[in-house]
Structure 1
Amino acid sequence: MKKSKLPVYVVDDDAAVTNSLKSVLEYAGHQVFCFASANEFLRSQPEPSGVLILDLKLPDIHGLEVQQRLVKKGVYLPIIIYSGTADIPDTVSALKDGAYTVLQKPVAARQLIEVITEAAEHAEKVRQDIVSRKKAAEQVAKLSPRELSIALLTAEGLSATQIAEKLFISKRTAETHKSNIFKKLDIGSTALLIRMLMLSEHLN
């Protein structure tokens, strides 16, 4: 099966830079979209599976503000800051706001291509993690308060007898609750229960 092209968005007002990147990245098999201004890019509809190569000093909006606007719009693209003027404060701010990395111009084509691939792979893992956490939270929300309490005690390693004693219920009731918990969560082991509770942020 032929691998689909990765969309790469280049935002830089230097035509020499954008033309060079477009040529190199298209040769590497990517689908490249170039923008000479931040507003032009922000008006577009970038694919969430793409990667953004962003300059800091743009004619209309600073690159760091572009990052912040994307977050506010709910657009989570892996961002590679590609600038010849990025100082330490800019680098810290960019990384703090979620940029994948900061590269100083110029960068060898091979290195840039490798970083783009790494950024896309990292972003995909993050997206999968978000989906897993959302799914786990939805599953755990099906539990009653009593079932959640028993699920947490089970995750701590307590037996049905110990849970019964702690909650002042019968062992049989504790076992029934545990059985219902596993059915509601569609899992078959305590290890999976622990993972689901961790993903749903009920367990550290």
Structure 2
Amino acid sequence: MTAIPILFEDGEAIVIDKPAGLPIERPRAGGRSLEDHLEELKLGFQRAPVPVHRIDTDTSGCLLLARNPKSLKRFNAAFEARTVEKVYLGVVAGPVDGQDGTIALSLSKISSADKGWRMIAAKKGKPSITHWRKLDERGGVTLVEFRPETGRTHQIRIHAAEAFGHALLGDPVYGTGKGAARTMLHALTLTVPREGKGPIVARAPLPADFAALGFVDVDAGT
């Protein structure tokens, strides 16, 4: 039994339900990170698993770890080829017009002494595409399903702020940081195709802070 829930496990991969607030890499200022749990996530194997991709510290949900160098290389290639399917749930801090759509923006990274680094929409940036669908609206906030086609840093967060005029609830970088104890983003499902064997399929349960907002019966990720 590990401290972090395991959603999928076989000889090549583990998918965990990463808790919100747990960074994948050790912060410069120190403190706990996923690195503290890799030993227990060996689960009888000699090697500790390695994260294949990144999700933000505040983001909860599906995170893929490779159990050996060969699988890590194959999984990295799948992400590069955009064959990995990812579905996220986000709570937008306001109403959302329309029922569904696609957000296409080129993104660039900037930094300043007072605000630190962040992503901005820029014509000369890297292309990024996110498909979205409105699921529910209550209490002045909106639950949205996001299916990112690309995997840029902060992609869903800045896409929400730019397309809807409202950032994700609790987002301190692209929004006000108010309304929630964290940026309300959850990696709901992850599907990774594999040649010669069945795909990796994982689904992370809805977090308690989403349910506390009244978003309980969610028809998403299907």
User: RCO greater where, 1 or 2, for CA within 8 Å and sep 6 or more?
Assistant: 2
Which TM-score band (shorter chain)?
A: under 0.3
More helix by share: 1
Q: TM-score, normalised by structure 2?
A: 0.23
Q: TM-score, normalised by structure 1?
A: 0.24
Rg larger in structure:
1
